[in-house]
Amino acid sequence: MSVEDDVRAAWGVEPLRGLWEKAREALEVASPPATFRLELPDAETQRAVGELYGRPMWGQGTRISLSKLDEATRRSRFALGLAEALEILHEQPLTRREAAERDERRERTAETLRAALAERGLATAAWAEPWTQWLRQYGRVGDDELPAVARSAAKALGALALAEPPEAWTSRSELAASVGGAHAFDNGTALSRVVLKAAALAHGVETPGNERERRALWERCGVTLDAVSATVLCWALPLVGSDDWSQGVRQRTAQGLPTHLTHLDLRAAPARLVAPGTAIAVCENPRVLESAVEDGIAHPVVCVSGRPSTVTRALLRRLVDCGAVLHYHGDFDWPGVSITSSLLAHHGARPWRMSAADYREALDQAAANRTDLPNLVGVPLETPWDPRLSELMSTAARAIEEEAVLPTLLADLRRGLST
């Protein structure tokens, strides 16, 4: 016979059954007690427990010390600790009740979240499982709140742009109202926290840690925090309308002033903004637009000021819908490449001096002028409009900001970009 068989034959007898059950019960609680109460209903139980424990047993019950019982099983001919003996006798290892309950609670949480996501067709999204695991461990949502939060979060996530740039935009208050409360997505709410976590995972960015980062992530998903704070910088837009709104923008241009348009402005704007075929220069850095204003260049310019905001994309889409032709130039760095790719793919923009030859020319000009260029950092990206550009940027490992090629861009604007 094996050692396990010997243990079961010697200790798995009826008079000791209560001892082992009580010992397991005591060891599996979150904080095991020092002793436990054991009933001794008859003489046979008293004898068996006394022989194992190492002292005579009298009366109908006694207190058993866990540490002394462990010492007794180790002193026995089997030389087993109490936990090992219980695993053999009961044919299952000890499980701390707290851990088991925690695992069970987490699994219930996961099932609730998966069911809510499945209702919105999101259960198979790449971010769904990491989000579920995060919420199980760190989401800080109470069991009683979880079903409602899961349903509301899934409904909101179904309305967000989590893979592609948004085709349309909604305000955060409208989104909140759609899930049952005007303030559901205010900063600090459980719903805001769990939805932004899913959005961060979907877009492959860090969880936002401040108001600026939260705003950027909401906008990346097609949500505006309000209709007035986000703006897009414009210069000399050749508006065709005779309405007060169009005349007001044209008056600013006549005074040599650029215009910051908000979502509220775009709501008030006429449906038709510019004539079909209008060439619009789109730049990344406000310095390009500012220089065009200072030099009195009348070519229309829109500045995206980094990654395009929701109002920027809304204006660009409106212009394209009117038949305008967008020409985009940005920084020669990997974020600039990402923005270029997005605007070309989703707004039909044309690359403006964003070829490998343009990058090489800028490198040579910087070398001739002994201008120090910043290192190119980040993960290389493809440049489908000119595959050679990505290769050359990776090789040269230097970033070129728009200001470094400003004279060339301004010369283009003076001549006018073709349609």
Instruction: Kindly report, as residue ranges, where domains of CATH 3.40.1360 are found in the chain.
Output: 232-415
Structure tokens at 63: 């207190």
C-alpha pair distances (Å), 379 with each of 97, 207, 375: 47, 19, 13
Would you call 204 helix, strand, or coil by DSSP?
coil
pLDDT, residue 184, reads: 85
pLDDT, residue 338, reads: 94
Using CA atoms, how far apart are residues 358 and 367, in angstroms rounded to an integer? Answer: 14
Q: At what angle do helices 14-27 and 43-53 cross, to 10 degrees?
A: 60
* Per-10-residue mean pLDDT, the chain, length 419: 85 92 84 87 91 90 91 91 90 71 67 90 92 81 82 92 80 86 84 93 91 88 85 97 96 97 94 97 97 97 92 94 97 96 95 98 94 94 97 96 96 92
Alpha helices in 295-355 (DSSP H): 310-321, 334-347
Structure tokens at 190: 């459980």
pLDDT, residue 135, reads: 82
**What is the CATH architecture assignment of 232-415?**
3-Layer(aba) Sandwich (3.40)
Element (H, E) at 351: strand 350-351
pLDDT, residue 104, reads: 65
- The answer to whether 191 and 210 are in contact (CB under 8 A) is no
- Sequence letter at residue 296: G
Using CA atoms, how far apart are residues 58 and 245, in angstroms rounded to an integer? Answer: 99
Element (H, E) at 223: strand 223-224
